[in-house]
Structure 1
């Protein structure tokens, strides 16, 4: 499981964009988003760095670990 904090996730629209970005990489991934806490949980076999890069490119960079 990948646990990320996305400071720029402010609303449900942001959460949908983040979910779409993750699912574009792994259509079988499970994604949970919470705009209130700015947390994203991803269950996938794909490496975390791939998701971090894609989310950053989409305008939603994750906080560094």
Structure 2
């Protein structure tokens, strides 16, 4: 499992955008988001760096 903290993920729109960015980078990935704590967990993603790049391109700088 790969985990990120996304401090700028604050609403439902952000959740959809983050989910889509992850799915674009790793279509088979399973995404879990805890919005109040700004946490993103991704399972079945082969490459952390590809996720970091996809999230950054979507406007979410992963910590």
Alignment pair present for 1:6 and 2:13: no
TM-score calculated relative to the size of structure 2:
0.92
* Residue deviations 1:16-58 (CA, integer Å, cap 9, x gap): 1000000011111100112110000000242111101110111
Unpaired runs of 5+ residues, structure 2, are: none
The structure where helix makes up a greater share of residues is 2
**Residues 33 and 39 of structure 1 are in contact (CA less than 8 Å); yes or no, is this contact kept in structure 2?**
yes
Number of residue equivalences: 63
Unpaired runs of 5+ residues, structure 1, are: none
Stretch moving more, 5-14 or 41-50: 41-50
